[in-house]
Structure 1
Amino acid sequence: MNKRLLGVIDATTYHEDLSDLTSHRSVAAIPFGGRYRLIDFVLSNMVNSGIQSVAIFPKYQYRSLMDHLGSGRNWDLNRKRDGLFFFPSPSLDKPVTGIGSLDHFAANIDFFNRSTQEYALITNAYTVFNMDFNPLLEWHVHTGCDITEVRKNGATLGIYLVKTSLLMELIETRKETGYLSMRDVVTDINSPYKLCYYNYEGYATMIDTVETYYAESMNLLKPEIWEQLFLKERPILTKVKDEPPTRYSKSASVQNSMIANGADIEGTVENSIIARGVKIAKGAVVKNSIIMQKSRIGEDCILDHAILDKDVRIEAGAIITGTKNSPNILRKGSVQGEWLNS
């Protein structure tokens, strides 16, 4: 087990373009891939890298996130020593200044004072990837860097590695230096610290717009992408729900789709992602769409390039269409009748 790394997940970020999916949840808790949440990827990466202490710092709409994570049992983080910690922001009026808010950390400085890990890994909660952080730590130590920023093709992934003692120094001196976040530190050309860049060569994408959310969700249907994200040796963990297998009736037709457990499929599904407990009635056609948990699609409906949030009900005969660049989004719990077109 890696006892040198402390996991710190910044879950404060709000993306305006994702507002249709975050009216009742944080970005970190957005469903992805039928049975996961966005935070599952970085949290699983930490656990798979042997990190035993992870602190999550949320700000907005975090009830859903807390419900999803619980005690951390599904990630083996419900421990007597270390484990999973949750530190909501004490102030909602201050704007988010970048990944790794030093003010937010300062409000919970006792956590860092008690930590025994030599290094801190600070990340965002909305990057979809599968990464072993141990080579990063070894590279950081070998090169003698003060701060390492993880990048993909020259662009930041919002992941920073730093000595815990230096992180605490940055927290304590933030008013003198003017650094409000880790992003401020690494973008200051006059920074006194040795900054290094670690290039991550695997698949990684940041979900910050509806367009990227839809496109990257559809990418999961490509075997070459799926095989880079979901590895047997480094599984992506999530909240376990005991539900029966999906039921497919004789009238069902499914092609190139991901169907989670507990669904009931009687209609046609093509190039789509169907979450747990979804029901698709006979004669309904769902194409190029993302259907979230426990939504109901009535008989003879047509859905194409649509995103249905949780508990949406589509009445019989309705037509819901969008486009690749502008999918039609229906918010949680909404009910739609006949002939609603985008």
Structure 2
Amino acid sequence: MKVAGLIFSNIHDGCIPEMTHFRTMASIPFGCRYRLIDFALSNMVNSGITNVGIITHYNYRSLLDHIGTGKDWDLSRRSGGIKIISPYVTAFENQVSGKMYENRLEAIVGASSFIKRCGADYIVMSDCDVILNIDLNEVVEDHINSGAYITLVTKKLKSSLLTTEKNMKVVKIGENNRVLDIVNYKKGQRDINVNTNIMVISRFDLEELISDVLSHSYRDLTDDLFLKKLKKKLFRAWCYDGWYDYISSLESYFKVSMKLLTPEAREGLFYSGGRRIYTKLRNSAPVKYSSGAMVKNSLIADGCTIEGCVENSILFRGVHVGKGSVVRNSILLQDTFVSNDADINCTIADKNVVIKDSRRLSGHDTMPFFITKGTVV
């Protein structure tokens, strides 16, 4: 049994335009040293999937720089490995053109060449805005044993615990985990089964699905295909019970990131079941703390210099916090420079931001203050 992976790197870029203006959703920095695609890639590699296609759209230079040859995920291989799938493919006759895909279905059709040539029996598809650590072997085995047409990975949540409601799909499940319906989330629902946008399908069925798309000009995967096939085919839900979160806005990015300050979240996400999350390795010096530095409940990456106070914050590589400066409840991305006597609260600073002396910047946990990449404040 051979399994290949297919990752959508840009499907929900429009949900968080502040951070995807210079990059894809897949390459958004997360948790001091990671990118969002690291979770989808690591889940596949940890499950023995070594043939992975990544569907791109635009602004994917930083994604290519991060992935490189794939060696950090043990995917630099003669056979299999990582394949970057160009976005310039139409949904008609699979011909290359200047038009990029507009939806998930066109993206799948654009990947038809990879799907045909991968030689896999089954395909695992995943988005990049879902943050979890899952054993996909269990999902694939359940899919095969059940004889399902498609298996959807779902997560049971209480609506009060939702970080976001945007683009949330709810899966209604019947006996033997059969999927009965897929609907949009509505406020007031209590216990819900969320669609994580991770699914398993056989290569034969996926090629047949692509043929249906080309024959009928379908536009939406859920509304045009899934809902039409639900009564005819067996759609099955596989209920994931581990740590899960979903990013669909700047506010949800802030909230999900801040959860990493708790040991439970870090353990459940980065070391669940002995499965590690891999990322691109960089050689940096250890953090340098001056005699006047004070740090409390924060995650600080290598290469940082701390001369002031950092509390309840996440600092990426190369961040500098000057003397007398206070950084609270904030996320400072790579190479952000905070000068002396600044006061930063509930702020997200993108890469290479410079905050000058004595600046006072503050947002709120429900609406963090965002500073665009390369800005001087």
Q: What interval of TM-score do these two structures reach, taking the shorter chain for normalisation?
A: over 0.9
* Equivalent runs, 1:255-294 vs 2, <5 Å: 255-294=296-335
Note the C-alpha offset of 1:15.
3.8
Computed over aligned residues only, the root mean square deviation of the Cα atoms, in angstroms, reads: 1.6
Once the two structures are superposed, residues 202-229 of structure 1 have per-residue CA deviations (whole angstroms, 9 ceiling, x without a partner) of: 1111111111100000000011111101
| TM-score with structure 1 setting the length | 0.93
Label 1:95 to 1:107 Cα distance change in 2 as closer, same or farther (>3 A): closer
Does structure 1 conserve the Cα–Cα contact (< 8 Å) formed by 2:350 and 2:374? yes
1:10 paired with 2:8, answer yes
Note the C-alpha offset of 1:12.
2.5
Cα distance in structure 2, aligned partners of 1:309 and 1:107: 32
1:226 paired with 2:266, answer yes
- Which range is displaced more, 260-269 or 5-14? 5-14
Label 1:169 to 1:88 Cα distance change in 2 as closer, same or farther (>3 A): same
Cα distance in structure 2, aligned partners of 1:78 and 1:94: 28
- Which range is displaced more, 75-84 or 190-199? 190-199
Does structure 1 conserve the Cα–Cα contact (< 8 Å) formed by 2:151 and 2:237? yes
Does structure 2 conserve the Cα–Cα contact (< 8 Å) formed by 1:257 and 1:271? yes
Partner of 1:173: 212
Partner of 1:48: 46
Local SS of the residue matching 1:86: strand
Note the C-alpha offset of 1:177.
4.3
Does structure 1 conserve the Cα–Cα contact (< 8 Å) formed by 2:153 and 2:238? yes
1:211 paired with 2:211, answer no
* Equivalent runs, 1:32-43 vs 2, <5 Å: 32-43=30-41
1:246 paired with 2:287, answer yes
Note the C-alpha offset of 1:241.
0.6
- Which range is displaced more, 188-197 or 238-247? 188-197
| TM-score with structure 2 setting the length | 0.84
Once the two structures are superposed, residues 265-309 of structure 1 have per-residue CA deviations (whole angstroms, 9 ceiling, x without a partner) of: 111000000000101111110000000000100000000000000
Does structure 2 conserve the Cα–Cα contact (< 8 Å) formed by 1:160 and 1:182? no
Letter of the structure 2 residue corresponding to residue 157 of structure 1: T
Cα distance in structure 2, aligned partners of 1:95 and 1:305: 36
Does structure 2 conserve the Cα–Cα contact (< 8 Å) formed by 1:266 and 1:283? yes
Does structure 2 conserve the Cα–Cα contact (< 8 Å) formed by 1:292 and 1:308? yes
Partner of 1:119: 122
Total equivalences in the alignment: 331
1:132 paired with 2:135, answer yes
Partner of 1:25: 23
**Which of 226, 236, 241 is the aligned partner of 2:277?**
236
Partner of 1:148: 151
Note the C-alpha offset of 1:109.
2.6
- Which range is displaced more, 104-113 or 27-36? 104-113
Once the two structures are superposed, residues 99-127 of structure 1 have per-residue CA deviations (whole angstroms, 9 ceiling, x without a partner) of: xx3x3333343322222211000110111
Note the C-alpha offset of 1:251.
0.7
Once the two structures are superposed, residues 25-61 of structure 1 have per-residue CA deviations (whole angstroms, 9 ceiling, x without a partner) of: 0111100001000111111110011111000001121
1:192 paired with 2:232, answer yes
Partner of 1:76: 74
Does structure 2 conserve the Cα–Cα contact (< 8 Å) formed by 1:127 and 1:207? yes
Runs of 5+ consecutive residues of structure 2 not aligned to the other structure: 90-97, 157-192
Partner of 2:242: 202
Cα distance in structure 2, aligned partners of 1:217 and 1:263: 19
Note the C-alpha offset of 1:178.
4.4
Does structure 1 conserve the Cα–Cα contact (< 8 Å) formed by 2:55 and 2:111? no
Cα distance in structure 2, aligned partners of 1:190 and 1:8: 23
Does structure 2 conserve the Cα–Cα contact (< 8 Å) formed by 1:243 and 1:262? yes
Partner of 1:66: 64
Cα distance in structure 2, aligned partners of 1:180 and 1:85: 25
Letter of the structure 2 residue corresponding to residue 96 of structure 1: E
Label 1:209 to 1:221 Cα distance change in 2 as closer, same or farther (>3 A): same
Cα distance in structure 1, aligned partners of 2:291 and 2:102: 51
Q: Percent identity?
A: 36
Note the C-alpha offset of 1:17.
4.0
Does structure 2 conserve the Cα–Cα contact (< 8 Å) formed by 1:49 and 1:132? yes
